[in-house]
Amino acid sequence: MAYHGADEKNIKFDETSSEKIDKIDTARDHADQLTELFGIEATAASKAAWLISMVVSLGGLLFGYDTGYISSVLVTIGTSLGHELTSSEQELVTSLTSGGALIGAVGAGLTADRFGRKMPIWSACVVFCIGTLLQTAAFHVPQFAIGRFVVGLGVGSAAMVCPLYISELAPAKYRGRMIAFNNMSVTFGQLFASALGAAFAQAKSTQAWRATVGIGGAPAILLAILLFFCPESPRQLIAHDKADEASRVLLRIYPTSTEEQRRAKIASVEMSIHEATQTMVEDSIWKTVTRIFTTPSTFRAVATACVIMAVSQLSGFNTLMYYSATLFKIVGFNNATAVAITVSATNFVFSIVNLVIVDKFGRRIILLVTVFGMTSCLLIAAVAFHYIPIDTHTLEVQSDEIGWPGYLLIAIIILFVGFFSAGVATIAWIGTELIPMEVRAVGTMLNTVTCWSTNIIIASTFLSMMKGITPSGAFGFYCGICFFGWFFIVFCYPEVKGMPLEAVREVFAHGFGVRYANQWQKENREFAKMNTQQSFAH
C-alpha cells in the first residue's frame, strides 16, 4: 500500500484487496516485495535512535518551561515591573510569546529544507537565551514584553522543527512514541516550571520570579551542545543528493540492517520524492505553499494535521497553563500557585500514558476516546461555574467558602487535562507524519503556525471572555470546539500507525483515507505475520 511509481516492483496498492493479490503470483510473493521495500523497518532500532530523540526533545522542554512558568510569574510578579499588571497587560505578555512563536515557526519553515533540520534548532537555542536574559533583567513592562516575544521566536522554531526531525529519523514502529517523548518533555518542562514557581513564590524576596525565568536558559544551552553529536535527517540528506551520508545515518539507527536493506530504504525515499527532490531545494516558498493548496491529496493531509492542532489549542487547555494560578485564585483557592502544580503534574503523568499506548492502539481510537472525554469535562465545568458566585467585572469570587462547585471544578479540570495530555496534546504534533515529504517542512510550518495563531487567540481573549460572556460561556465555547473536533476525527482522521512515511502519502489519495488506512492496517498485520513465518522458515 505504499507507492505509485514503483513500477519496477510491480506493486500497486490503490485497488481492492483481491485485485492487489491478483497482480502477483501469490500473497507470499507480495509479502516478499514489501519486505524488500520496507525490510529495514523490521530490523532492531539502535539505542542511538532513542538517544537522538531524547536530545532533540530538549526543544520540547523549552516550549514546556516557557508555558509553565508564566502562570506562577503572573501571580507573584507584583510591582516588580513598576506597577501591578492589569488583566490586559497579563494577556499581552502572555500572548506575545505565542506571536513570537508564530513568526519563529515561519522562519524555521523557510530554512528547514534549504539548511537542514539542525540549523533552525541551533538558532532557536540562541534566540531563546537572548529572550530569557531580557526577561530576567526587566524592570518595566515593555522590556519584559520584548523578552517574551523574543523567547517566543525560539520556542516556535524549536516546536516546529523538533517533531519534524524526530518523525523523519524515527523507525516507523517507534515513530509515535518518539514524538510522544518530545511532548512528554513539554509536559515535564511545564511541571518543573510550575514547581519552581511555587517554590520561589514562598520566598521573601519580591524578585524571586527572576530566578524562575532565568533557569529556562539552561535547557537551551544543553540542547545546543548535544546537537553537535546528532546526525542530520536521512531524508534531508537524500533530498540533497547525499545518499552515502544518509546510508551511514541509517546504519547508525539500524545497526543490524544489511547494505541491501539500507539501499532499499534510500530507494523508497527517492521514489517518494523523485520529482520533488530538486523542488525542495530550489523552489520558492510560494511555489511550495501553492503546491499544498493546488494538490488535493496534499491539501487534505495538511488540513487534517492543522485541524487537529487547532482543536488542541482552541479546546482552552493553554488557559490552564497560562492562567491556572489565576483561575484557581478566582475560584477561591488561597495557595493557587501550589494548586496549579496539580494541573502540570496531571499533564506530565498522562503524557507518559500516551507514550506507552500511542503505537499500540493507534492515533485514531485514542483521539476518539479522549476528545469525547474533553468535551464532556468542559460541559460539566461550564455548569459548575454557573454555581460559583464570580463578579465578572473584577473576576473575584463573591464568597469566603469554595463549596462543592469549586471542588467539582478542580476535579473536572484535572480529568480534562488527563484526557488532553493522553490524546490530542501529543497526536497534534505527531500529525507531521501525515504530510508528504516534498512539502513536509512547509506543511509542518503551517501546522505550527496553526498552533501558535490559535494559541494567541486563547491567550489574548481568555480573561476578556471570562468577563464578557461569563466563565460558563467561555468554557461552553471551548466545549463546542471540542465537539466539532470529535466529529471531524470520526469522518476524516485516518489511522497511520506503523506506516513508513513513504507509504502514508498514499492514504490521502483516497479522500481522507479513513477506510483505505484501515484496510492497509488489516493487510499489514497479515503480511507481518507471513513475514514472521518466513523468518522462522529460513
- DSSP 8-state code for residue 14: S
Give the separation between CA 63 and CA 66, rounded to whole angstroms: 5
Instruction: Identify the H or E element spanning 390.
Output: strand 390-391
Q: Report if residue 480 sits inside a domain.
A: yes
Rounded CA separation 493/355 (Å):
20
Where do we find the cell 523549552? 62
Q: Name 391's bridge partners.
A: 396
Query: How many domains is the chain partitioned into structurally?
Result: 1
What are the grid coordinates assigned to 268, written together?
A: 523508497
With contact defined as beta carbons under 8 Å apart, do 37 and 26 qualify? Answer: no
Residues 363/495, Cβ–Cβ less than 8 Å: yes
In this structure, is residue 406 part of a structural domain? yes
Q: How many CB atoms are located within 10 Å of the residue 137 CB?
A: 13
Neighbours of 226 (CB within 10 A): 15
367 burial (CB, 10 Å; 0-12 / 13-18 / 19+) is buried
pLDDT for 491 equals 94
Q: Provide the angle, in degrees to the nearest 10, between the axes of the packed helices 317-331 and 440-468.
A: 20
Rounded Cα distance, 74 and 94, in Å? 9
User: What is the reported pLDDT for 311?
Assistant: 94
Q: What is the pLDDT along the chain (538 residues), one digit of tens a residue?
A: 433 433 333 334 344 444 443 443 444 444 454 455 556 766 666 788 888 888 999 888 888 888 778 877 887 788 888 888 887 888 888 888 888 888 988 888 777 777 778 888 999 999 999 999 999 998 899 999 999 999 999 988 888 888 888 888 888 777 888 888 888 888 898 888 878 877 777 777 777 888 888 988 898 999 999 999 888 888 888 877 888 888 888 888 888 888 888 888 888 777 766 544 444 445 566 777 788 888 899 999 999 999 999 999 899 887 776 666 666 666 666 666 666 677 788 889 998 998 888 888 889 999 999 999 999 999 998 998 888 777 777 666 666 666 777 788 888 888 999 999 999 988 998 888 898 877 877 888 888 889 888 888 887 788 788 888 888 898 899 999 999 999 999 999 999 888 877 778 789 988 898 999 888 888 877 654 444 343 333 3
- ∠ CA(345), CA(346), CA(348), 5° rounding? 65
Q: Angle 175-201/336-361 helices, nearest 10 degrees?
A: 170
Q: Which residues contact 115 (CB under 8 A, 6 or more apart)?
A: none
Residue 324's pLDDT is what? Answer: 64
Helices (H), 362-402: 363-386
- Residue 497 lies inside a defined structural domain of this protein: no
Residue 59 lies in a domain: yes
Burial class, 103, CB count within 10 angstroms (exposed 0-12 / middle 13-18 / buried 19+): middle
Half-sphere exposure of 505 (CA within 13 A, CB side): 19
Q: Is residue 402 part of a domain?
A: yes
Q: Is position 521 within any domain?
A: no
Neighbours of 365 (CB within 10 A): 14
Q: What residue numbers bound the domain in which 109 lies? A: 47-233+283-492
Q: How far apart are CA 199 and CA 197, in angstroms?
A: 5
**474 forms bridges with which residues in the sheet?**
none
Residue 416: partners with Cβ closer than 8 Å, 6 or more residues away: 317, 373, 374, 377, 378, 381
Helix (H, G, I), strand (E, B) or coil at 396: strand
Residues 424 and 322: their CA atoms lie apart, in Å, by 18
Burial class of residue 50, CB neighbours in 10 A (0-12, 13-18, 19+): middle
Quick check: is 301 in a domain?
Answer: yes
- The three grid cell numbers given for residue 77, joined into one nine-digit string: 510578579
In a domain, 1, yes or no: no
Which amino acid belongs to residue 295?
Answer: T
In terms of Cα–Cα distance, which of 484, 472, 458, 450 is closest to 372?
484
Look up the CATH number of the domain holding residue 210. Answer: 1.20.1250.20
For the chain, the helix, strand and coil percentages under 3-state DSSP, each to the nearest 5: 80, 0, 20
Instruction: State the amino acid at position 154 in one-letter form.
Output: G
List the grid coordinates of 316: 482552552
What is the value of pTM for the model shown? 0.70
User: Which of 290, 165, 157, 263 has its CA nearest to residue 220?
Assistant: 157
